[in-house]
A and B are shown apart, each in its own frame.
Chain A
Amino acid sequence: MDKLAFDVAHFLAGSLVLVSLMLLYQDRLSALLNVFAFQAVVLALSVAWQAYVQDAPHLYLTAAIALSVKAIIIPVALHRMIRRLGIHREVETAVNIGPTMLGGLGLVALSMVVILRVTAEADMYAREDLAFALSVVLLGLLMMVTRRNAVSQVVGFMSLENGLILAATGAKGMPFVVEISVAFSVLVAFIVIGVFLFRIRERFDSVDLQAMDDFRGERR
């Protein structure tokens, strides 16, 4: 049972990293949102498995929140948003996909090395879990750095937050309040960012951040 529990947890967390890498090479916004929704589903599965293994019923609630908010509400809302903005067919990258993927692989390797070295005495579950979670966080950050469109930056931010949830649920005894507050703060951030997107769009006729930089008269 123990072995199986570990293997399944390992598999789900690893899938999350894989989906994060998939996010990196989606250059169309609607495809990006679909992959993000898929990532949230994997996260919900992983959290639910942790709830089962750790015998912590409150984690089921976390999983339910992840599934409903991140896999359904936010992607649907973002889909509607990009349709209204008319950018759902847009192709955009600031950095080419090849180097980005290579960088992403490097980040995964780095987080493995760091976590496995630093947490030598920790519980085995927690070690693997933290290593994957750090990879997801770094990949989310990488996405925010390499994308130019505001919507993909929002997606990068949310995928980063998924990594945080993974880390939080992997460690035993994390209070439920923490997860709830993280989830709600992300929801609020999402709303705020959504509002801002429309305001930016109104003013600049684009959500490409390049337009804002041009407006400020910055050189690249």
Chain B
Amino acid sequence: MAAIAPIVATLWCVAALLITGAIAVAVGRLKWARWLIYGSSLTVCAIACAVAIVHLIARPAAVSEIVLPLGLPWIGANFRLDALAAFFLVVINLGGAAASLYGLGYGRHESAPERVLPFFPLFLAGMNLVLVAADAFTFLLSWESMSLASWALVMTHHREAENRKAGYVYIVMASFGTLALLLAFGLMAGPEGGYAFATMRAHGAPTGLAGLVLALALLGTGSKAGLVPLHVWLPLAHPAAPSHVSALMSGVMTKVAVYGFIRITFDLLGPVSWWWAVPVLFAGAITAVLGVLTALMQNDIKRVLAYSTIENIGLIFVAIGLALAFEGNGMKAAAALAMTAALFHVLNHALFKSLLFFGAGAVLTATGERRMETLGGLLNRMPATGLLFLVGAVAISALPPLNGFASEWLMLQAVLLSPELPQWALKLLIPAVGAMLALAAALAAACFVRAFGISFLGRPRSPAASNAHEVDGLSIAAMATLALLCLLTGIFPALVIDALAPVSSALTGSRMPVQTHVAWLSIVPIAESRSSYNGLLVFLFITASASLAAFVIHRLASDKLRRAPAWDCGFPDPSPATQYTADSFAQPLRRVFGGFAFRATEVVDMPSPGDGRPARITVTLRDLAWDLIYDPIIRLVAYLAERLNHLQFLTIRRYLSLVFGALILLLLILAAWS
């Protein structure tokens, strides 16, 4: 290992993934192709993950670079592996390995494996390349190949009209995002065309244009990550793909976008100014609350998960915004805290969102259904999947002792440092953002109580749900691995925080205090006197008290046999329709927030007495992003296209005159320029 530089090893892994994709084209239709392709993806991702972990732990400050004679001739293809890239490589390859393992089992039920297998390794290779790219050309090329490969995966089941629409919206938004990034890099490269990241880093932000670059970066990476209002493609595209790909897109690809934003703002754009934080905080807070509110209203379990991804991206962007605010004011320790919280949440979200999508995929395999209204009672039929899904749901709801709590707690600790900021704008904005974070966390808990409760508890609402069977062992193994990692990072957050120290010191010039030296594995973000958290202690307490309670109840309470008239436990009518439904569970929250956030309207159609037909309640929700932004744009484009249509039918001389006129106009502009 010592002989090969880590960056070279990573590039070999990318090459291996590309070769795997090429082989998949040839053997995709064969029965055993799944074992070969997912097996080698799993191996390669595991190796790449190990390389990145070793780089991050063993030589945290080292930077491994290489220039290949590809790409633009005068700069070549630059690749660079530093602490930030290494951390994201760990996240991506962890998710990639888990998805490959899950794919080994889940892929058995795939109706068209030849449409999935070639693009799956290609997608992984694209994401890995984005992280190690060190010039704008290589970055954008990798970014586009990642987008295109994932688009092909979204279009796997292209015979369903809904999926075609999802693919279309996705490719439009992805192209828009890449255009924004292209312009951002163009501005940073300047008139001399310094497209290598090293050059951009050296001369920093173009004077007076930092705000424009920031806006473009926010648009470009935000459209991939799913910031409101650029999120419209995400809840369409993520559920449309096969479940292990959904897990990759939601858990992993959005993190590549987060990486891009951190790379541009903290690394390439030069010294951070405090006002950069304002748009990021706004976008993040709105995204978090709207994402989880919409998730609460959904009935398709994979769309619930997709909207919840939007919420978590909002949380991560809020933490990045906090880091920008502190960094811009020279508060290094606070910036390190916020940045560590953001990165920690990146890791956590990759773990539990992949786990939850795997669980949704297992439910889909077992029942053929994604609509929660047709599920129910699955915990008895699929105990392992149910338990693992519950672990993921608890983690994403930020309940201790799992990992979601640790990172969101760190974010709130960073929010509590905001009174020390000098700017009044931030002093007033950040507590409001903190309140939004708290609201989002509470709503997320409600959302996952609903998702788990409606799908797994109660009684089955359809024959498909009552005939469900547990899924195969490999899928469960993939879920169990992720659940175990969620638990471990939740119990031992100190280890993760210390592993993140080189990343935060490379970005903010500071790091959080060393945590592994603190007694009893507690974490202390600022000082012992202010706050500390011990995941292990909470875990032990919960385990001990829950076991004790179970023991006491079983030993003492149910000892005697009692006979009594049944109160029926709220089930006088044996029909499953009497249970709480997903919509009825969400109704109180919809009444509180829906009118404002979705222009929700409820119409009750009550038949008059004596009329035999059933009463109906109709709920309409509007998507404001579509109504206020996208529909006007679509109408404008259609109008312009209509007006320009006659240009298709001009005479040859008119066309020549147009060319001539354009040329003369450009020359006139050039002549009048200086």
Q: Interface on A for B, CB 8 Å cutoff?
A: 94, 107, 110-111, 113-114, 117-118, 138, 141-142, 144-145, 148, 209, 212-213, 216, 218, 220
Secondary structure call for the B interface: helix
A110–B664 contact, CB under 8 A?
yes
A142–B660 contact, CB under 8 A?
yes
What number of A-B contacts does a CB cutoff of 8 Å give?
42
Smallest CB–CB gap between A79 and chain B, Å? 24
Smallest CB–CB gap between A160 and chain B, Å? 11
Q: What are 24 A-B pairs at a CB distance below 8 A? A: A94-B653, A107-B664, A110-B671, A111-B667, A114-B667, A114-B671, A117-B673, A117-B674, A118-B670, A141-B663, A142-B660, A144-B656, A144-B660, A145-B656, A209-B651, A209-B652, A209-B653, A212-B651, A212-B652, A213-B651, A218-B649, A218-B650, A218-B651, A220-B651
A110-B664, A138-B664, A218-B651 given; 16 more Cβ-contact pairs under 8 Å? A107-B664, A110-B667, A110-B671, A113-B671, A114-B670, A114-B671, A138-B663, A141-B656, A142-B660, A144-B660, A145-B657, A145-B660, A209-B652, A212-B651, A213-B651, A218-B649
A65 and B79 CA atoms in complex are apart in Å by 49
- Please, which residues of chain B bring their CB within 8 A of the CB of A218? 649-651
A141–B653 contact, CB under 8 A?
no
A94 and B657 CA atoms in complex are apart in Å by 12
Minimum CB distance partner of B651 in chain A: A213
A145–B653 contact, CB under 8 A?
yes
A117–B671 contact, CB under 8 A?
yes
- Please, which residues of chain A bring their CB within 8 A of the CB of B671? 110, 113-114, 117
- Please, which residues of chain A bring their CB within 8 A of the CB of B667? 110-111, 114
B3 at the A/B interface (Cβ < 8 Å)? no
* A148 in contact with B660 given A110-B671, A111-B667, A117-B674 (CB within 8 Å): no
- Please, which residues of chain A bring their CB within 8 A of the CB of B657? 145
- Please, which residues of chain A bring their CB within 8 A of the CB of B663? 138, 141
B660–A110 contact, CB under 8 A?
no
Number of interface residues of B (CB under 8 A): 17
Smallest CB–CB gap between A150 and chain B, Å? 9
B644 at the A/B interface (Cβ < 8 Å)? no
Which of A144, A145, A212, A220 has most B Cβ within 10 Å? A145
B668 at the A/B interface (Cβ < 8 Å)? yes
Smallest CB–CB gap between B651 and chain A, Å? 5
User: Which listed residue (A107, A111, A113, A148) contacts B653, Cβ 8 A?
Assistant: A148
A141 and B656 CA atoms in complex are apart in Å by 8
- Please, which residues of chain A bring their CB within 8 A of the CB of B670? 114, 117-118
A149 and B279 CA atoms in complex are apart in Å by 60
The 3 closest A-B pairs by CB, nearest first: A113-B671, A213-B651, A114-B671
- Please, which residues of chain A bring their CB within 8 A of the CB of B664? 107, 110, 138
Minimum CB distance partner of B673 in chain A: A117
A213 and B664 CA atoms in complex are apart in Å by 26
- Please, which residues of chain B bring their CB within 8 A of the CB of A111? 667
- Please, which residues of chain A bring their CB within 8 A of the CB of B649? 216, 218
- Please, which residues of chain B bring their CB within 8 A of the CB of A94? 653
A142 and B667 CA atoms in complex are apart in Å by 14
A145 and B656 CA atoms in complex are apart in Å by 6
Smallest CB–CB gap between B518 and chain A, Å? 65
Minimum CB distance partner of B657 in chain A: A145
Smallest CB–CB gap between B141 and chain A, Å? 30
A141 and B658 CA atoms in complex are apart in Å by 11
* A110 in contact with B668 given A94-B653, A142-B660, A145-B656 (CB within 8 Å): yes
Minimum CB distance partner of B661 in chain A: A145
| Docked complex: B618-674 residues within 8 A CB-CB of A | 649-653, 656-657, 659-660, 663-664, 667-668, 670-671, 673-674
A144 and B659 CA atoms in complex are apart in Å by 11
Smallest CB–CB gap between B453 and chain A, Å? 68
Minimum CB distance partner of A112 in chain B: B671
A144 and B660 CA atoms in complex are apart in Å by 9
Minimum CB distance partner of A107 in chain B: B664
